[in-house]
Each structure stands twice: as C-alpha cells, then as structure tokens.
Amino acid sequence: MTHQPLSWIPVLDLRQESLTSFALREAAVFYRAHQGRGHLLLGEPLPPGISYASWSCARPLPGQTWHSPVRSWAGLPVAASLEIAGDHAPEPARDCDLPSLLTQDAACRLTLYRIPGTEADAVIQAVSQIREDHPRAALWLDLPSMGWDAAAYLLAVIPALQLMNVPDRELSHLLDLAEILERPVQLHDFGGAAPLPVLPLPEYPPQMDNSWDMSSPPVYPGYL
C-alpha cells in the first residue's frame, strides 16, 4: 500500500471567457479561496502585469504550458487531453496523436475522460491499458466524467493515478476515499508552491435519539 498523497488541485476553467476585469477578479477570488493554490485554464494569455504560478492555455504559446483539446483515444473508450510544457507545443503538435505526444519529454500530464455512456469496466480496462503502455506518464482522471465509484476503484488498484477537476463541494468524497486508502490529501497546484495538508473531516458518532429507550419493550402509552 502506498502512502503517496492524493492531490487536490482546484481548477478554474476560463477557457470560454475573455479575460475581462471580471474574469480576472474571479481568478483572484478563486486563488484567495484556496489559500493561494489552484490551477487556471485559460483561452488566452494573461494580460501584462498579472501573473499566476499555475496556469495553462488552450492555445500553444511560447514558454507557456499548452492544454490540448480533449480528443478521443484511438481504439479505447476514453478521451484525453494533454498538457505540454514550455516551447514544446508547436503548431504541428496539434495534428499529432496523443500517444506520440506523450512520448515527448515535455509532456506534463495526461487527463483521461470517460466518454458518456461507457460501461465502468470498459473504462477501467482502458485506463489500465494506457497505464501499462505509458508507465512513465503522469495520468490524471477527470472526476466529473469518471464518477466516484470508477475513480475510487482505479485509485485503489493504480496508486499512481490522481484526480483532476474535483469540485469543491465534493472534497468530502476525496477525504473519505483518502481515509480508506490510508493516504493523506494535499492541496497544491503545478506552480511549485509548497503543498498544504488537507485534514480529514471531523467524525461524530451517529446521533442517538435520546427518546429511544429500549430498556423495556415499547408499550402503547394509552394502554398504561
């Protein structure tokens, strides 16, 4: 059993928005709300004078991490997007297929998506196969499409996997899973800031109703 931490990386997806002052304000609030950790997905580069440690862009830009569009993986019932660092995502890279892009040294992480309607066992087999074929790749599972059950099983059998796009309101599920897998949870991003531990939620015993008295059989009060 591994004790490698499970990652919680809050993600704010602004790919469909132009970076107006409202969107930038949204990003600032997002960062503050997550103690200065979080990853931004942008459709265009940040304006001059504004910087965030962890962001990637849907357009290949010199010196910036490129977030490739989600494409289906040939021959397998999953889709994937790849992030490639720095200047290694030139224009022709868009036409390359994902497996060949994965072999590049600059490939940061591959996020796998479940295609809607795919059975859980087919997705599990596909993820296992990709893991087997690309043992060095950093594989992430898109939680909203995978679902908690398939994701929990995959994390139990392939400890190197991590979850991406865990909504804040479902953090308790991640903490539950971490408790069962006996792994800590860390809040961080890809910007290099030190990870912050996420503590397990407090546990309370099931509330016992005080009127619940089973010391004697319940007799209808009107009869007494």
The count of residues interacting with another protein (CB under 8 A) is 34
Amino acid making up residue 38:
G
Would you count residue 180 as binding another protein (CB under 8 A)?
Answer: yes
Closest of 123, 131, 134, 195 to residue 159, by C-alpha:
131
Q: Which of 176, 183, 184, 196 binds another protein (CB under 8 A)?
A: 176
Would you count residue 218 as binding another protein (CB under 8 A)?
Answer: yes
Q: Which of 153, 171, 193, 196 binds another protein (CB under 8 A)?
A: 153
**Closest CB to another protein among 95 and 182?**
182
Would you count residue 160 as binding another protein (CB under 8 A)?
Answer: no
CB-neighbour burial class of residue 103 (10 A; exposed 0-12, middle 13-18, buried 19+):
exposed
Q: How far is the CB of 98 from another protein (least distance, A)?
A: 22
What pairing do the DSSP bridges indicate for beta strands 11-14 and 185-187?
unpaired
State how far the Cα of 222 lies from the Cα of 127, in Å rounded to an integer. Answer: 63
Q: Which of 61, 93, 96, 120 binds another protein (CB under 8 A)?
A: 120
**Residues listed for the chain:** 224
Packing angle, helices 120-133 and 148-157, rounded to 10 = 40
Can you give the binding site for another protein, defined by CB under 8 A?
1, 119-121, 124, 128, 147-150, 152-153, 156-158, 176-177, 180-181, 204, 206-209, 212, 214-215, 217-223
